[in-house]
Structure 1
Amino acid sequence: MEQTLPKEDIKRSLAKTISWRLVGTLDTVLISYLLTGTLAIAFSIGAIELVTKMLLYFFHERAWNNIKWGK
């Protein structure tokens, strides 16, 4: 008999999305600053990246939650 694992709660997916994006955005801001030497540009790039990648990650995570492979 195959055991059914519970699906991940949407709140957990949101928390993971936000925490991972903060780490990723700090990395992007640092790299952008090292390349441009301008904090304003680095933070602008980081802000855009924060929003777009958070949305992409959230939907990616939710889609993977529906895939049984590897569970």
Structure 2
Amino acid sequence: METRVRSLVKALIWNIIGLGSMALVGFLATGSIAVGGVIALINTAIGFTLYLLYERIWSRIGWGRDHV
């Protein structure tokens, strides 16, 4: 089972990557750095929360794991 700290670090790193890509997409779509940044921040906050919950749920599911 993963620790909560590991799940948190994974979620943070993944969302930093997502923040950068979403800021770029938002900027390209709107032409505004400010609007692109707001879109990216909102998306990152939602994505971070959902990803962390998703990881924690899957950490409790034994299906598909090797039990060595």
- Alignment of 1:14 with 2:8, yes or no, is yes
The residue type equivalent to 2:39 in the other structure is I
The residue type equivalent to 2:29 in the other structure is L
1:49 aligned partner: 43
Normalised TM-score (structure 2): 0.90
2:23 aligned partner: 29
- Structure 2 segments unaligned to the other structure (5+ residues): none
Calculate percent identity across the aligned residue pairs: 34
Residue 17 of structure 1 deviates from its aligned partner by 0.4
After superposition, give the CA deviation of every residue in 1:11-51 in whole Å (9 maximum; x if it has no partner).
00000000000001111110111111100000000111111
Indicate the structure (1 or 2) with the bigger Cα radius of gyration. Answer: 1
Distance in 1, matches of 2:13 and 2:50, equals 14
Normalised TM-score (structure 1): 0.87
Q: 2:60 aligns with which of 59, 62, 66?
A: 66
Residue 69 of structure 1 deviates from its aligned partner by 1.6
How many residue pairs are counted as aligned between the two chains? 65
- Structure 1 segments unaligned to the other structure (5+ residues): 1-6
